[in-house]
Amino acid sequence: MDGQTAVVTGASRGIGEAVARRFASEGARVVICARERDEIDAVAEAIAEDAADDGGSVEALRADVRDEYDVERLMELAARESDDGIDAVVACAGVYHGAPGETPLASESYAAFDDAFSTNARGVFTTVKEAKPHLAADARVVVPSGGVAREAQPGYGSYAVSKAAAEAVVRQFAAEIDRPVGVVDPGAVATDLTGGRGRDPADAADLVHWAVTTAPAEDVDGGVVGLKAFRSATAGSSD
């Protein structure tokens, strides 16, 4: 990813932080955002220090994906110093109100439902919409998601419904714009959203890196790529 520009939302922790680290370690210029300025600035400082020898760089902006004006500024910042535009967008920003698996839909508040949709679904719409004018010719956009978006499980409430909506947003963009837009499903990842249960976020970052660099574009576009496809495609690879 030497010389490429990537945008990662929700990068102050979890999958977003791991993806930003991986991209920077591959020589990319990474523009990251999160709601809390202190948190995203601290992550940017740590990534910059770690990636100093790899040729990568990182820039942080406090931005809330629920606010289209914040996201517009984010994409403009990313495109400003790039000759060809933004090469990769990873929409990682997400929320889960309550304990994972313990939030039945009928028991959730209207406020929790609305915020899940504003962040997890509308946030994806805003991210892709505002990135579109700035995408490089061979850019890719990916959105992390999970099986609960496609197969209902008890207790995942508005989170599952909002992720299903996010995947629908992805499919519609894939049908309408001339850049690959797809879903990546890393399975259960140990983040705040899962209560710390699951695999290392670095594993998810490996999947995301593959999806935006070398995975077949036709598999990414409008589809769901997961660890099984990644491991099959990279079996025996030193990467």
**What pLDDT is recorded for position 187?**
82
**What pLDDT is recorded for position 195?**
62
**What pLDDT is recorded for position 53?**
73
Unique residue bearing structure tokens 């947003």: 169
**What pLDDT is recorded for position 81?**
83
Angle, CA of 233, 175 and 73, to the nearest 5°? 90
Pairing of strands 181-185, 224-226: parallel
**What pLDDT is recorded for position 234?**
84
**What pLDDT is recorded for position 1?**
87
List of the chain residues with pLDDT < 70: 190-198, 236-239
Domain 5-231 class?
alpha beta
**What pLDDT is recorded for position 49?**
85
Could you tell me where the DSSP H helices lie in 26-88?
37-50, 68-80
d(CA 19, CA 115): 24
Angle, CA of 51, 143 and 139, to the nearest 5°? 65
pTM: 0.93
- The residue type of 29 is R
> Tens of pLDDT along 79-131?
998 888 999 999 999 999 998 889 999 999 999 999 999 999 999 999 999 99
Tell me the CA distances in angstroms from 210 to 16, 88, 97, 219, one per residue in order: 15, 11, 30, 12
